[in-house]
Structure 1
Amino acid sequence: MIWWGPLLSLSEFSGERLIGTLQKMNTNGKMHEMAETLIKQFGQLQRLKRQCPLKEVAPHAQEKGLLEVDSETYQALLIYYQEKDSSWRDYRLVPHPKDLQVLGGYVKERCETKTPGGVRLSKWAPNNLIEYIDGDSVGWGEVTHLFEVLMEEGYKEVVLVWVMKMVDNPCVQKVLARIQSVQVERLGVHVFISLEDVVATHAY
């Protein structure tokens, strides 16, 4: 409140609707309701940040070209990085221990890109079905998003795919092989992979 000053003096402020909402809460003198107010949450977050300064990895939300990923996509991205390094932490879980890597919720999205090996892929056919290295085996995936995630060394590209599997039909596969195509089916699982793991794209 010291920062804002009296709310009534801000009637011309662009956040007038928000101020009106806060005024209608009428929590003065009702301490048990204070935890439900936006001001209380704002103050709590600021105190936590002051106690445990974050090792900033996430870019500012207003940086040009950034978008905030939804909760499901963020969770898949977090799992991807935690499998590589268990010290990565969800930015929504506060307070954060000191010197921990915090994965932000903002990314840049691209329509197409090229792997270090020269394979061109995109979100649209015919370059959206990819073959990639999955541990000791080969994986298949349909590209849904191409993200650039801000790391300490700069932006790093990752690929979000629907996991696919090759249809086990030798007769059909022989015919499709002649026209350089494959038959696959979606497994209903989203995973992130790195560009370095992409081997090739295929028609389907």
Structure 2
Amino acid sequence: MKHVVLPPGVPHLPHNLGEPKHGKLSASQWHALFVFIIPIVLLDMYLDNVGKIDLKSNLYKFLVNTAHLVQCTNVVFARKFKPGDLKRFEMHHKKYSDTVGELFDNIKVQPNHHYSLHIPQQMTAWGPLAGVSDFAGERLIGFLQKIKTNNKIDEMHKSMMTRGCRLQRMMEKSEFHQLTQPLDDEQDLKPRQLKSIRLTESRYQLLFNLVARNNHDVGSRALSGLAKPVRSINCNGVVVGSMSPRNCVVFESGGKTRYGLVQQCYQYDNHLSKRKEFMLVSRITNLYPKRTEPIPTRPFRYLLFLFGVVVGKVESSEEAIDPSQVISLAAYHLLDKNTFSISENGIALIPRGYDAFLNISGQSEQ
């Protein structure tokens, strides 16, 4: 679990997860666990031969049951959805409920199980549930619960008021506002002077092809071949860099969704002498898209489809992309050799989006 790289903004889980010492998980941590951690970790732990999966085994039934729950989680946390997504939630919830009793004895129906049946009606009436959730109120309740009252019930209101006033006074100080501002990796005490380097012939050709796609009037001598390496690039609010956890990207190319690992970010002056940026990525080939024909790896591909996981190989060839092509970052795990029948450079990734449904079907991209 500790080897799964989570994008910025996704809360990290306690290193001792499963032990009583780590305490309770927050709602965002539960979301990260079910959407990013469990799908990648479970498949890596329990599946050795992806071409020989026993469909009648409890292991396969357990993985499918968990995948149905992950699908429900994606719908609940979606920031936009279609009516068909609510039908999909009902289908996956029913399959999860019907199969959980076959896997575990003495399962009791909890109030939350009944409550979840009303989620489609709530989303139809209110829209995405993230817009009506009271996370701020939950955090306030958690804050109040942690206040020590020394078992003096008659003085509880005084203790809470005193603690709250102290916190409010601290939050009004300018030093507190400075402390809560996010750090910018590009800002140092002394501005770092970026030095230009000359691109290699292969990388220059990638840059030229990128510029020529959008500017047909560019000539072969219009670009100087000089570029400045930078740590990161802001791609419409998504900060991308060549180091984890910002280096696994989902991007659009040729009208299709692609995946890649960022190798380097650059600034350059285009043929109009305007400052531009671009990235060099190693494309990730999706080796196991969903297939409907009867092939040995079909059950494994179905599990990946349900979990929303892309399993592929990091190619050695590079591709230049523009910041406008970037869709999102992705959580990922670099696989050991021969994992999922991938000899080397294997990777499992999950895009960081708030979509109700992740479609990873299609043919393998070579």
* Cα deviation, residue 189, structure 1: 2.8
* Cα deviation, residue 187, structure 1: 3.3
User: What is the correspondence of 1:30-179 to structure 2 with a 5 Å cutoff?
Assistant: 65-91=195-221, 102-116=222-236, 118-151=237-270, 152=272, 154-168=274-288, 169-170=300-301, 173=304, 177=308
| Amino acid in structure 2 at the alignment position of 1:82 | A
Provide the aligned C-alpha RMSD in A: 2.3
| Amino acid in structure 2 at the alignment position of 1:146 | C
* Cα deviation, residue 87, structure 1: 2.6
Once residues 249 and 216 of structure 2 are traced to their aligned partners in structure 1, the CA distance between those partners, rounded to angstroms, is 27
Once residues 124 and 64 of structure 1 are traced to their aligned partners in structure 2, the CA distance between those partners, rounded to angstroms, is 18
On the 8 A contact 1:176/1:183 being kept in 2, the answer is no
Structure 2: segments with no counterpart, 5+ residues? 1-192, 289-299, 333-366
Structure having the higher Rg: 2
* Cα deviation, residue 149, structure 1: 1.3
Give aligned pairs, total.
128
| Amino acid in structure 2 at the alignment position of 1:67 | I
Once residues 306 and 213 of structure 2 are traced to their aligned partners in structure 1, the CA distance between those partners, rounded to angstroms, is 39
* Closer/same/farther in 2, CA of residues 133 and 203 from structure 1, 3 Å limit: same
Once residues 304 and 244 of structure 2 are traced to their aligned partners in structure 1, the CA distance between those partners, rounded to angstroms, is 20
On the 8 A contact 1:182/1:202 being kept in 2, the answer is no
On the 8 A contact 1:125/1:203 being kept in 2, the answer is no
* Closer/same/farther in 2, CA of residues 109 and 164 from structure 1, 3 Å limit: same
On the 8 A contact 1:127/1:203 being kept in 2, the answer is no
Structure 1: segments with no counterpart, 5+ residues? 1-62, 92-101
Please state whether the residue corresponding to 2:331 is helix, strand or coil.
coil
On the 8 A contact 1:182/1:203 being kept in 2, the answer is no
On the 8 A contact 2:210/2:322 being kept in 1, the answer is no
* Closer/same/farther in 2, CA of residues 170 and 114 from structure 1, 3 Å limit: same
Give TM-score, length-normalised by structure 2.
0.32
| Amino acid in structure 1 at the alignment position of 2:304 | Q
* Cα deviation, residue 183, structure 1: 2.6
Once residues 265 and 218 of structure 2 are traced to their aligned partners in structure 1, the CA distance between those partners, rounded to angstroms, is 21
Once residues 187 and 172 of structure 1 are traced to their aligned partners in structure 2, the CA distance between those partners, rounded to angstroms, is 24
Identity of aligned residues (%): 17
Matched, 1:195 2:323: yes
Cross-structure match for 1:33? none
Bigger fraction of residues in strand: 1
Give TM-score, length-normalised by structure 1.
0.56
Cross-structure match for 1:183? 311
On the 8 A contact 2:233/2:323 being kept in 1, the answer is no
Once residues 170 and 83 of structure 1 are traced to their aligned partners in structure 2, the CA distance between those partners, rounded to angstroms, is 35
| Amino acid in structure 1 at the alignment position of 2:247 | N
